[in-house]
Structure 1
Amino acid sequence: MAKGYWVSVYPAVPDPAGLTAYDELAGPAVRAGGGRVLSSGGRVVAHEAGITRRAVLIEFDSFELAVAAYESEAYQRAMVALPDGFERDFRIVEGVA
């Protein structure tokens, strides 16, 4: 079975402190859904139209688990905690089996 991944790129984080409430809710929700954080805000080298801002990569044992974790009540509560006007490019992708 192919793994699933959450891939997030944050074009701008105008108020990093504003993410605190989201982080406090999202971390436990991701772990409860079986997610493992592989990268969170480390160094980025961007090519072509890439963005050198914060990037987050989370791995799940399957694509279905990744989707279910996003749709979970716990993660949706975290989404509500994102600051107004916050922007990110978020995708759920299926890995190669």
Structure 2
Amino acid sequence: MAKAYWVGAYRSVSNPDALAAYAKLAGPAITAGGGRFLARGVPSQIYEAGLDQRTVLIEFDSVEHARTVHDSPAYQEALAALAGGAERDIRIIEGV
């Protein structure tokens, strides 16, 4: 079974307090579900049409594990705390 990667890019943050509340809940929800944070932060270097956006990369054992964490009550609570405080692009992709 191929690993899966949850990739999140933050287009904008309109409410830093909501983002902090989200992060406080989301991190434990993700790690409890088996997610492993591989990278997070702003780009060190941008090439081609890249955007200067905060990016988060999380590894899971499978796409199903990543979906299960995203849909879990604990992560949904984190999303409720974010309450539109950031515009993001979240993708789950299967590893090769």
CA–CA distance in structure 2, aligned partners of residues 81 and 17 of structure 1: 9
Gaps of 5+ in 2: none
Q: In the comparison of the two structures, how many residue pairs are matched?
A: 96
TM-score when normalising by structure 1: 0.87
Task: Give 1:79's aligned residue.
Answer: 79
TM-score when normalising by structure 2: 0.88
Residues 85 and 42 from structure 1, CA distance in 2 versus in 1: closer, same or farther, beyond 3 angstroms?
Answer: closer
Written as runs of structure 1 = structure 2, the 5 A alignment for 1:4-83 is 4-83=4-83
Aligned-partner SS, 2:28: helix
Letter in 2 for 1:74: A
Gaps of 5+ in 1: none
Identity rate of aligned residues, in percent? 55
- C-alpha displacement at 1:81, in angstroms? 0.8
Aligned-partner SS, 2:90: strand
Considering fraction of residues, name the structure with more strand: 2
Tell me the C-alpha RMSD between the 2 structures: 1.6
